[in-house]
Amino acid sequence: MFKLAIDVGGTHTDALVFDGNQGLLEFKTDTTPQDLRIGVFKACEKIAEHYGVSLKELLERIESIIHATTVSTNAVIQRKGAPVGMITTAGFADVVELRRGRRDTGLNVRVEFPRPLVPRYLRLEVKERMSHEGKIVTALDEESVRKAMEKLDREKIQSLAVAFLHSHLNPVHEKKAAAIIAQEWPDVEISLSCDVLPQIGEFERFSTTVLDAYVAPLVRSYLISLDERLRSDGFKGRLLIAQSNGGVATPEAVAQRPIWTIGSGPCGGPVSALYYARSVLNTRNVIATDAGGTSFDVTLIANGEIGTTTDDWVADQRIAIPMTRIHSVGAGGGSIGWIDSLGVLRVGPQSAGASPGPACYAKGGEEPTLTDAALLLGYVNPDYFLSGERRLEVTRATKAIEQRIAKPLRKSAVEAAEAIFRVSVANMSSAIREKVTREGYDAREFCLVAGGGAGPLVAAPIAQELAIRDVLVPNVASCMAAFGWLRSDIQYDFSHSMMIITVADPAQVDLEKITRLYEEMESDAVRMLKLQKERFDIYRSVEMRYDGQFRESEIPMPRKRLTARDLASVIQSFHKRHVELYTFSMPDRPVELINYRIKIVMETSKPKLEKRPVKTQPAKNMVKGSRNCFFLGRFHKTTIYDGNKLKPGHKIAGPAIVELAATTLVLPPGFKSTVDKLNGFHVQRR
Amino acid sequence: MEKKIEPGLLSVIWNYLVTTAREMSNVLVRASTSVITAELMDHFVGIYDARGGMVAAHTVLPPIMGIGRFQVRDIVEKYRKDIHPGDVFIFNCPYTAHGTHLPDWSFAAPIFFQNELLLFSFSKGHQLDTSGAFPGGYFSGAYDIHAEGLCIPPIKLYSKGRLQKDLWDLLMNNVRFRQEQEMDIKTMIAALKTCEERCLSLFRKYGKKTVKTYIDHMYDVMEKSAKEEIRRIPDGTYSGESAADDDGSPQRYGVPVWVRCNVEVKGTRIKVDFSGSDPQVNFINSPWSNTHCYSCISIFTTFGPELALYHNEGSFRPIEVTAPERTVVNPRYPATVGACPVNVGTQIMFSVLQALGKARPERVIAGGVGNFHFAEWGVDRKGRRYFAGTFNGEGGTGAVCGHDGWPHLGPDSCFGALRKGNVEVIESRHPWIVRDYRLRTDSAGAGKWRGGLGVHVEWISDTELEHAIVTGPSDKITTRSYAVAGGEVQPPNEQYIIRARNREKEIVYGKRGPFFLEKGDIFIQNSGGGAGWGRAMERDPEAVRSDVLNGYISLRSAQEIYRVILDPETLTIDQEATQKLRGGA
């Protein structure tokens, strides 16, 4: 039986097959933006072809497909979601347009205003009001709901966001409004803010709810048609969908909360990076990176924890569900080098993408990219890019770099190429440094795992820049996310705010109320996900802060009837956590309990990479040849290794290039590498 | 003389320094307990050289970045050889430390490498309190600067790494929210430490000589591109003027305070002269460093957007600013300055941009709401005394060529850096019920590109206990903003209190208060939007239709101002009638 992960990226759709006999097999097809399903089935056909079976025969043998799709993310970025309406509390229809009055472009004032996903004339107010304690101040005027809905129906909305003030404390009005609409307008899909994100803070909650409504129809129809097509082609296994929290979910669960898929794309990467680092180096402190064509994603994993954040944006829209804490910057193989008006060389954030692609693709691209630079420097083999699937044209790369960079800087083409390479490395290093320090850590205490097609090109110089000792380049580097999804558990996150509780003395707190909230959250979740007959684990946590602070930290809570002693020990953990994060704590200061969270986890069976015996040996026989590569201002004669033939224990010394199926590992002078027991590369300074 | 500069390394060092400044800001945001620093983002951080030159800044609050140049120079001049590793300086005084208003406390620490003073780290934050007659420092009518609060000259808070305990006790004994402020100062200093660590590792890696050479080169590059931008402004002298409604003194209620400037452009140099501005008054005077910086920042906004993150000492070099002494833009001791940074600061910005709008309109933003916010104190929902500055209720920004203004983004001088509070959080922390918070139809100035809208907010006081507001820096209620290239100016801001006891409407001007509120009193803010850019008649009729559809403008404005005829029912454009009304254009 097979397990299959299909990860749709901006450029490629990666399919990774785990087959009991052969281990992992990787397939890449072009992503088909007009209908992502086409690419998915093309990938399946490619796999079937490899095994010499029909698509039906293949699908029959697959026990599970884990699918990461960008259908929701793209809908937001390209503004191609459903026509959405919104119903909200009288006086507050503009919350999503007021955006808390913030912009972060500083002195650049010539910026277009990001229009809300639901235009103002489709945001209608109804009479109702809750107090800040969740008490009804004005009862819901049901007629005003009907009147609003009649208008929205005339405007042919397909999806509706219902978001009332303080509904996280008392959802009865939202639920009542939804019930009326569901009964009288059964075709409209509804997202309630008290379901999507029952947390304090109307801008974040309303915006997240609108996003959910905006992508819901698309996600639902995508999943239904994908599932139907798979089933009719013989698939009898389980389909699971990737979420932005790094876990996977059943299609039924995702249909309930389509927003869980937004931004899920890169979230599988950190899962595989952590697995890899633990298996090879037995470390749980990892900087997971993924450098693709357009973006460079950084995730900090401290002590084995892949953190999530609720403080994020998708395109220009605020989203506040827990998302894997990935820091993305516009830097990758397709990033374009340019000279700004200061005469300073910059690389990115613009990318040539897959089309037209780097100049060397000869698909009409004329801008010099990082890939073009790597080609000129001799790092990339023009005849063995993606195992030779795409031939690269050196002359076009040279021309682009000469004209756009070398001439204005009065440098030779190869010097200009090195400058592009160096600036890219600096951009990526800055992204890592900022990410790591923002979380209060020191990069030197982490191991760097380099994924993505461009990751292994830049891994060693980045490590040097940041004084990182250990770099791992997994053998699945070019499809890190897909491998991560193969190892992800089913995982659902829920959160809820109550009135803020300030704790000076744990014995004075209404602990029953907290216990009750957790129990209700759990039973609601089980009902919604139809888990009554399933086996699962539940983890509780609470987001807390010092009285007066504005940023919370998440602390685990025991899953039991809460006692004062339990709460005291939770608070102790918070003090400790605060020291870890911010170097100090304030043990005498009261704390505030803000959001209560539960996480439901159902473990999946996880493929393991085969650990192979390590036999220390020189890698002489695996040499493909040599060529001149440019390092540190001059050409060096550089050995080229065939990555597919290297075995655990093989040792390589830089300067060296290892050509792998879908990427290239660059070892500058001063670096060495050993093939690790999972057949990846452990890179260190000599 | 051609220096040996390697372009890759230049980019590396430059970005490293800019990122370092951003990291300093992150430190403040994540650990601060001050609503003003952490939640509203009212703080500034930067790196300066040993002579006070600005190396890199994180533009949280752009207007402050130039002030550090003056302040670091003050330290260097005052202490000279007496600056040591581990020193941390503290200061806020406008007259002895080039401060702005007193709540803005600055901190600076020298960075030494191999026994040489190379850089200063710098942080500045609006403190919860700074002593004075009322909490928070935003009250008009103080007798002199001493009545406004503590005036701290440049002094050492830490000497060679040791906290000056006596000084600390003196300072902390004179503020109202001691615990919070102690925390806040700790985080300001933590930000300095972060900066020092980053800079030291840069020196270790590339050597101090190289880093110094590259910093100098960064200045040169920036100077060159600033000059290139200025060269594109046609030579000439352009004038601008803008007024504050009044200075908040009872004897001068309703008397506008004028800032006037001549901007002289000659080749690659630009000179801003404030001769003709009003004599110094009360409460809103802009100290010299503030005036200088606001002038420069205004000019920077007209530069290419790619320069926005990278400004440094070089950006300031081609600009000369002069202002006669004892004027509202260059006051002398002991004039009060409570509302200065944003108040007359905004008039400085408006007057300079108005002048530049005549020279290079396609690069100049029209005027926005100005300032329209309040500060408050009282007893919070938990029964504790509090002070809070809030920016809710701010109006829109002006339009620029090619883009409409943004709604709710004021004050103008903060460029959207300040974040406004969520009503759910406000209601659960402070004794307010917010009844209505919406965009105001027709509140922006018309134009080919229109201004962003202002908002209407209704605040109901919800406590029997003490609750007071001051309208501190609010303005543009009786004076006007400016438009560019034939656009139109927005309607003025307005605000009033409706008292619960008699339902009477009491108009509230800016720079007034404290107004003590009783339970049920309603405070209503109607902020204006921004002004327009270009002639309203040239606005795309389709955009006008969409504005009417969404209630940004009324049907009537569409017809009378934009000259677009829409069917009142279907909102379809009557092309023929529109063309006729627009003069066949």
The predicted structure's pLDDT at residue A370: 96
Whether the predicted pLDDT of B2 surpasses 50: no
| A437: chain B residues, CB-CB within 8 Å | 23, 26, 194
From the list A100, A110, A120, the residue facing B403 with the nearest CB is: A110
Residue A643 in domain: no
Q: Residue B487 in contact with residue B448, Cβ under 8 Å?
A: yes
Q: Residue B530 in contact with residue B452, Cβ under 8 Å?
A: yes
Whether the predicted pLDDT of A367 surpasses 60: yes
The predicted structure's pLDDT at residue A310: 83
Interchain proximity B7–A502, CB inside 8 Å: no
**Residue whose structure tokens are 């829409």:** B566
Residue B74 binned pLDDT confidence (cut-offs 50, 70, 90): very high
Residue A671 in domain: no
A-interface mutation test, from B182, B194, B423, B569, most A Cβ less than 10 A away: B423
Strands A23-30 and A123-126: unpaired
From the list B11, B22, B428, the residue facing A500 with the nearest CB is: B428
The predicted structure's pLDDT at residue B1: 36
Q: Residue A644 in contact with residue A653, Cβ under 8 Å?
A: no
Q: Residue A431 in contact with residue A425, Cβ under 8 Å?
A: no
Whether the predicted pLDDT of B585 surpasses 60: no
pTM of the model: 0.91
B-interface mutation test, from A89, A103, A342, most B Cβ less than 10 A away: A342
Q: In 3D, which of B200, B333, B223 has the Cα closest to residue B270? A: B223
Mean pLDDT of chain A: 91
Interchain proximity A121–B550, CB inside 8 Å: yes
The predicted structure's pLDDT at residue B40: 66
| Four-residue CA torsion sign, A574, A577, A582, A583 | positive
Cα–Cα distance for residue pair A170/A193, rounded to 1 Å:
11
pLDDT digit string (tens) for A567-589? 999 999 999 987 776 666 788 88
Question: Which of A265, A280, A302 is the endpoint of a domain?
Answer: A265
| A109: chain B residues, CB-CB within 8 Å | 301, 365, 397, 400, 415
Residue A646 in domain: no
Whether the predicted pLDDT of B33 surpasses 70: no
Cα A306 to its chain centre, rounded Å, is 11
| B417: chain A residues, CB-CB within 8 Å | 102-104, 106
Interchain proximity B311–A121, CB inside 8 Å: no
> Mean pLDDT throughout A329-357?
84
Q: Residue B552 in contact with residue B439, Cβ under 8 Å?
A: yes
> Mean pLDDT throughout A6-13?
82
Cα–Cα distance for residue pair A144/B416, rounded to 1 Å:
35
Q: In 3D, which of A685, A607, A597 has the Cα closest to residue A271? A: A607
What is the distance in angstroms between the Cα of B141 and the nearest Cα belonging to chain A? 30
**Co-location of A239 and A176 in the same domain:** no
> Mean pLDDT throughout B114-125?
95
Interchain proximity B11–A93, CB inside 8 Å: no
**Co-location of A203 and A309 in the same domain:** no
What's phi and psi for A558, nearest 5 deg? -70, 150
The predicted structure's pLDDT at residue A502: 87
Interchain proximity B428–A94, CB inside 8 Å: no
**Co-location of A539 and A498 in the same domain:** yes
| B356: chain A residues, CB-CB within 8 Å | none
**Residue whose structure tokens are 């906004």:** B301
Whether the predicted pLDDT of B525 surpasses 50: yes
**Co-location of A541 and A594 in the same domain:** yes
Residue A613 in domain: no
| B41: chain A residues, CB-CB within 8 Å | 102
pLDDT digit string (tens) for A79-105? 889 999 999 999 999 999 999 999 988
Question: Which of A602, A623, A647 is the endpoint of a domain?
Answer: A602
Strands A447-451 and A286-291: parallel
Interchain proximity A426–B16, CB inside 8 Å: yes
| B425: chain A residues, CB-CB within 8 Å | 200-201
| A438: chain B residues, CB-CB within 8 Å | 23, 26, 30
What is the distance in angstroms between the Cα of B438 and the nearest Cα belonging to chain A? 6
CATH of residue A123: 3.40.1360
| Ramachandran sector of residue A539 (left: φ over 0; alpha: ψ -120 to 50; beta: rest) | beta
Omega before A456 cis (within 30°)? no
**Co-location of A379 and A480 in the same domain:** no
The predicted structure's pLDDT at residue B52: 94
> Mean pLDDT throughout A172-178?
98
**Co-location of A177 and A312 in the same domain:** no
Residue A639 in domain: no
The share of chain B scoring above pLDDT 70, in percent, equals 97
**Co-location of A63 and A90 in the same domain:** no
Cα–Cα distance for residue pair B356/B353, rounded to 1 Å:
5
CATH of residue A281: 3.30.420.40
Interchain proximity B415–A434, CB inside 8 Å: no
Counting one residue from chain A and one from chain B, the pairs whose CB atoms sit within 8 A come to: 214
Closest residue of chain B to A133, computed from CA coordinates: B428
From the list A93, A98, A110, the residue facing B408 with the nearest CB is: A98
The predicted structure's pLDDT at residue A437: 67
**Co-location of A206 and A94 in the same domain:** yes
Interchain proximity A201–B422, CB inside 8 Å: yes
Closest residue of chain B to A108, computed from CA coordinates: B305
**Co-location of A321 and A460 in the same domain:** yes
- The secondary structure of B39-91 as a DSSP string is IS--EEEEEEETTS-EEEEETTSGGGTTHHHHHHHHHHHHHGGG--TT-EEEE
Residue A235 domain boundaries = 2-75+220-265
User: Which residues fall within 8 angstroms of residue A572, CB to CB, at 6 or more apart?
Assistant: none
| A166: chain B residues, CB-CB within 8 Å | 424, 427
Cα–Cα distance for residue pair A254/A73, rounded to 1 Å:
14
Interchain proximity A437–B194, CB inside 8 Å: yes
Residue A571 in domain: yes
Q: In 3D, which of A424, A438, A240, A238 has the Cα closest to residue A338? A: A424
**Co-location of A319 and A431 in the same domain:** yes
Q: Cα-atom radius of gyration of chain B, to the nearest Å?
A: 24
**Co-location of A255 and A275 in the same domain:** no
Interchain proximity B309–A120, CB inside 8 Å: no
Interchain proximity B424–A438, CB inside 8 Å: no
What is the number of domains present in chain A?
A: 5
Question: Which of A423, A450, A472 is the endpoint of a domain?
Answer: A423
A-interface mutation test, from B228, B298, B364, B428, most A Cβ less than 10 A away: B428
- The secondary structure of A338-403 as a DSSP string is EE-TTS-EEEEEEE-TTTT--GGG-SS--S-BHHHHHHHTT-S-TT-BGGGTB---HHHHHHHHII
Q: Looking at per-residue confidence, does B497 or A26 come out higher? A: B497
Q: Residue A192 in contact with residue A171, Cβ under 8 Å?
A: yes
Identify residue A123 by its one-letter amino acid code.
Answer: R
What is the distance in angstroms between the Cα of B46 and the nearest Cα belonging to chain A? 14
Cα–Cα distance for residue pair A367/A335, rounded to 1 Å:
9
Interchain proximity A121–B551, CB inside 8 Å: yes
DSSP B234: P
Q: How far is CA A91 from CA A94, B435, B513, in A?
A: 8, 7, 27
From the list B183, B400, B438, the residue facing A109 with the nearest CB is: B400
Residue A365 in domain: yes
| A586: chain B residues, CB-CB within 8 Å | 183
**Co-location of A86 and A201 in the same domain:** yes
Interchain proximity A93–B402, CB inside 8 Å: no
pLDDT digit string (tens) for A620-630? 778 889 999 99
Cα–Cα distance for residue pair A205/A214, rounded to 1 Å:
14
| A113: chain B residues, CB-CB within 8 Å | 403-407, 452
Whether the predicted pLDDT of A154 surpasses 60: yes
User: Which residues fall within 8 angstroms of residue B357, CB to CB, at 6 or more apart?
Assistant: B240, B364, B366, B482, B484, B485
Mean pLDDT of chain B: 93
A-interface mutation test, from B349, B384, B406, most A Cβ less than 10 A away: B406
pLDDT digit string (tens) for A22-53? 778 888 888 887 888 898 999 999 999 999 99
Give kind and range of the element (H or E) at residue A436: helix A413-438
| B28: chain A residues, CB-CB within 8 Å | none
Residue A283 in domain: yes
Closest residue of chain A to B457, computed from CA coordinates: A91
pLDDT digit string (tens) for A408-420? 999 999 999 999 9
Cα–Cα distance for residue pair B32/B126, rounded to 1 Å:
12
What is the distance in angstroms between the Cα of B315 and the nearest Cα belonging to chain A? 11
pLDDT digit string (tens) for B298-323? 999 999 887 888 899 999 999 999 99
**Residue whose structure tokens are 């076009």:** A396
